[in-house]
Amino acid sequence: MAVEATTGSELLVTRRSFRSFMSEVFGPLLQVFLFVVGSAVVLGGLVILLAAALRGTREDIDLLQGTITILPQVIIDGMVRGFLYATIALGYTMVYGVLEFINFAHGEIFMVGAFTGAFFSAALASSGMLTTLSPILFVIAAVLLGMAVSGFLAMSVERVAYRPLRNAPRLVPLISAIGVSLVLQDVMRIIAVNTGLGFNAQFRTPDLGQPLILAQMPIADGRTIPVSIDSRSMIFIVVAILMLIGLNYLVNITKLGTAIRAVAQDRPTASLMGIDVNRVIAITFLIGGALGGAAGILFGMRVGTINPYVGFLPGLKAFTAAVLGGIGNITGAMVGGIVLGFLEAFVASYLSLFTRGQFSGASYADIVAFSILILILIFRPSGLLGEVVTQKV
């Protein structure tokens, strides 16, 4: 039986045409790309229209010009936020896919990834290698390390705190996950404070290069301002895209991916087909945790200073992104992350501008994220890309 199953799936792999290979690995990415462009165009158009409409209300500055001047930067910011949420959301959505369980501690897995990077850079700095190491090597090493640590952490958390509760009522593992999240926060705080890294840990990097200037934006009286993308944001976007390609390959092409999808679809049947369900679930946590860890490293590198509580808000928003895209759906998580990231970036930048600084955009961006979550759950609980499922009795 097992032999037959193996030959069957091998046949499946060999018969796969190059065309279907490309469409399964890069198809979701194309969708993500379309959503990036779409969000940028729609939201950009919206703020320009709004600025044109409100133009007369402010005498001190030209609102329309101000809006257009910061627009490219806001779009880049939106992309970075979007890919951040997308990579974290993948962890939520994959675990939800196989277990129908919200891994509340995933934000803390992300935070541990960020701290792994901070420890790594501190260790390099103390041995004097930080300045001499090639930046590319540093980024690769840090990301791989973060992925390994977070991945294994997520797997062990599953083993200790979730597996014993697999058949319990739904809320029981969720409460356990909340507990794990608190424990991880405090343990990381204790470690960070007592190893000299400090509560607010510095994430030092080698010189990653100057911001890349994409274009010169003309403003009034003939001057121009540069439209630039800083190297950290660029690294973020590139690594995130590479990871998404890798994940699509893993889930859609490999035998392991087939097993994961089978478990997600129907656990008892998958187990009857000879799939080791516990192993697949552990590997799902490993993959989700590794993605979260990589996101943590990239996040830490970009913001420079992290603390043990940084995982909470991105984790919550990434969950929002996963729901927005349709929880359980991998492409949906990426798309949801992108859309949420763009919305947030636009609110954070333009709310203050349009209300004369009466409302601070950065704080209200959080409220926007949660309002979206609530609206989506009321009007389209299956998300942007999710299928409508009826609840089984």
Joined together, the tokens standing for residue 376 give 């989506």
Distance CA 284, CA 278 (A): 10
Residue 384 interacts with other proteins (CB under 8 A): yes or no: no
Compare residues 161 and 208 and give the one whose CB is closer to other proteins: 161
Asked if residue 104 lies in contact with residue 288, where contact means CB atoms within 8 angstroms, the answer is no
Q: Is 183 in the site for other proteins (CB under 8 A)?
A: yes
CB of 48 to other proteins, least distance (A): 25
172 sits near other proteins (criterion: CB under 8 A): yes
Residues with Cβ < 8 Å from 225, sequence gap 6 or more? 69, 216, 217, 219
Among 205, 231, 320, 349, binds other proteins (CB under 8 A): 320
Binding string, residues 133-162; x marks residues near other proteins by CB under 8 A: ----------------------------x-
Nearer CB in complex with other proteins: 44/337: 337
Phi, psi of 357 (to 5 degrees): 70, 10
Residue of the chain from 32, 102, 130, 154 that contacts other proteins (CB under 8 A) = 102
d(CA 243, CA 28): 13
Q: How far apart are CA 106 and CA 142, in angstroms?
A: 19
**In whole angstroms, how close is the CB of 166 to other proteins at the nearest point?**
12
- Report in angstroms how near the CB of residue 385 gets to other proteins at its nearest: 17
Rounded to a whole number of angstroms, the minimum distance from the CB of residue 309 to other proteins is 9
Cβ of residue 294: shortest distance to other proteins, in angstroms? 24
Total number of residues that touch other proteins (CB under 8 A): 52
Q: Stretches 61-69, 79-87, 263-271, 372-380: which one binds other proteins (CB under 8 A)? A: 372-380
Q: Which of 10, 186, 266, 387 binds other proteins (CB under 8 A)?
A: 186
Q: Does 393 bind other proteins (CB under 8 A)?
A: yes
Q: Per CB under 8 A, which region of 40-48, 183-191, 208-216, 287-295 contacts other proteins?
A: 183-191
Find the binder of other proteins among 60, 358, 388, 390 (CB under 8 A).
Answer: 358
Distance of CA 45 to the CA centre of its chain: 26
- The structure tokens listed for 46 are 């919206």
Whole-number Cα distances in Å, 10 to 24, 260, 263: 17, 16, 19
Is 28 or 173 the residue whose CB approaches other proteins more closely?
Answer: 173
Q: Which of 101, 203, 285, 354 binds other proteins (CB under 8 A)?
A: 101
Non-local CB neighbours of 354 within 8 Å, separated by 6+ positions:
50, 51, 54, 63
Q: Are 147 and 240 in contact (CB under 8 A)?
A: no
**Pairing between β-strand 201-202 and β-strand 224-229 as defined by DSSP bridges:** unpaired
Give burial (CB, 10 Å; 0-12/13-18/19+) of 68. Answer: middle
Binding mask 194-233 for other proteins (x = CB under 8 A): x---------------------------------------
What value does the CA radius of gyration of the chain take, rounded to a whole number of Å? 22
Nearest in space to 372 (alpha carbons), one of 341, 331, 334, 330:
341
In angstroms, rounded to a whole number, what is the distance separating the alpha carbons of residues 199 and 190?
9
Scanning 10-18, 144-152, 169-177, 287-295 for contacts with other proteins by CB under 8 A, the matching segment is 169-177
Q: Which of 171, 196, 220, 221 is in the footprint of other proteins by CB under 8 A?
A: 171
x/- contact string, 11-50, with other proteins (CB under 8 A)? ----------------------------------------
DSSP 229-295: E-HHHHHHHHHHHHHHHHHHHHHHTSHHHHHHHHHHH-HHHHHHTT--HHHHHHHHHHHHHHHHHHH
Sign of CA dihedral 212, 90, 344, 110: negative
Report how far residue 258's alpha carbon sits from residue 248's, in angstroms, rounded to the nearest whole number.
Answer: 12
How far is 250 from 338, CA to CA, in rounded Å?
Answer: 21
Q: Which of 127, 167, 210, 390 binds other proteins (CB under 8 A)?
A: 167
Binding site residues, other proteins, CB under 8 A = 101-102, 161, 164-165, 167-176, 178-187, 189-190, 193-194, 312, 316, 319-320, 323, 355, 358-360, 363-364, 366-367, 369-371, 373-374, 377-378, 381, 391, 393
